Structure 1
Amino acid sequence: MIKSSNGDTPFSLTYGTEAVIPAEIGMPTFRTAEVNVAENDEALEINLELLEEKREQAAIREAKSKRQMEKYYNTKVRNASFKPGDLVYRSNEASRVEDTGKLGPKWEGPYEVTEALGKGSYKLKDRNGRELPRTWNVCNLKKCYIHKV
């Protein structure tokens, strides 16, 4: 099968030519019936000489495809970051408290961000001023839009 990311088959990138499947050998097709062995050997040698260039072109096409996919997915990402002093809610699923059922609250809090540790991790403290025992990732936090009292 042709890979959509680079436009070639893995077999052709390895051996420099397309494979002839056993079904094509058993029944006559244009590809197998009109073969001149001498010209075929010359064409195979030329394909082998151009194989490295073909691999480089496939690598360029694959990198371009990956950049396009990355650009598409990154447009959908919603960046969130918090500063010390911001109020946030934390996910009930992430905090591993007892299950409140499907009608229970999904978020608990608010908590105050005390420290931003980098790469999306934060230290939190509750309303009583007690520091929570572990760090929390940004994917488990949600901005709280109430004012401090």
Structure 2
Amino acid sequence: MPKVSYGETPFILTYGTEAMIPVEINVPTDRMRLTGEENEDDLRLNLNFTEERREAAARREVEYKKAMEKYYNSRVREVKFKVGDLVLWENETGRQQGQGKLGPRWEGPYQVIWAGDKGAYKMAYHTGEEVPRTWNAMQLRKYYA
């Protein structure tokens, strides 16, 4: 099947020609009607255009990735916390061992004591002692008291 991102099958990009399935051998198709010499000429012609097909597929893949990035970025809501905000952190990322499916999903509240420019945050326990690692905004949630 042709890949959505680049519009060609991997077989065409690798070998320069369409794959022949066993059904095509028994059923007469345009491809099977060619004589040996005509088939060789067609295969050589396909090989000449293989590099062009690969370049076109690479261009289509870049365009597809840009469209996907634009779609994703248009729907992502950026989360920012300020120093002093109370937050919860995701329990799966904070524990060495999981709590199981019935365990709490969020742990806290903790206070933000440092906010980096790329979404990194340092936290402090309610006693004021600093948590020994940094956290990403994707693993944090605002705590409303």
Aligned to 2:17: 17
- What is the percent sequence identity of the aligned residues? 50
Whole-angstrom distance in 1 between the partners of 2:71 and 2:98? 38
Which amino acid letter does the alignment assign opposite residue 126 of structure 2?
Answer: R
Partner of 2:89: 90
Equivalent position amino acid for 1:127 in 2: H
Distance change >3 Å, CA 98–CA 34, structure 1 → 2: closer
Post-superposition shift, 1:137? 2.4
Deviation at 1:88, TM superposition (A): 1.9
> Which runs of no fewer than 5 residues in structure 2 stay unpaired?
none
Q: How far apart in 2 are the matches of 1:118 and 1:24?
A: 59
Letter in 2 for 1:16: G
The 5-angstrom pairing of residues 55-134 of structure 1 reads 55-96=54-95, 99=99, 102=102, 106-117=105-116, 119-134=118-133
Give the letter aligned to residue 61 of structure 2. E
Larger Rg, first or second structure (1 or 2): 1
Is 1:4 aligned to residue 14 of structure 2?
Answer: no
Tell me how large the CA RMSD over aligned residues is. 2.8
1:144 corresponds to which residue? 143
Question: Unpaired runs of 5+ in structure 1?
Answer: none
Q: Give the C-alpha shift of residue 118 in structure 1.
A: 5.0
Aligned-partner Cα distance in 2 for 1:47–1:94? 52
TM-score, normalisation: structure 2: 0.77
Equivalent residue pairs, number: 144
Distance 1:123 1:30, change over 3 A: same
Larger mean Cα displacement after TM superposition, 30-39 or 132-141: 30-39
Normalising to structure 1: TM-score of the pair? 0.76
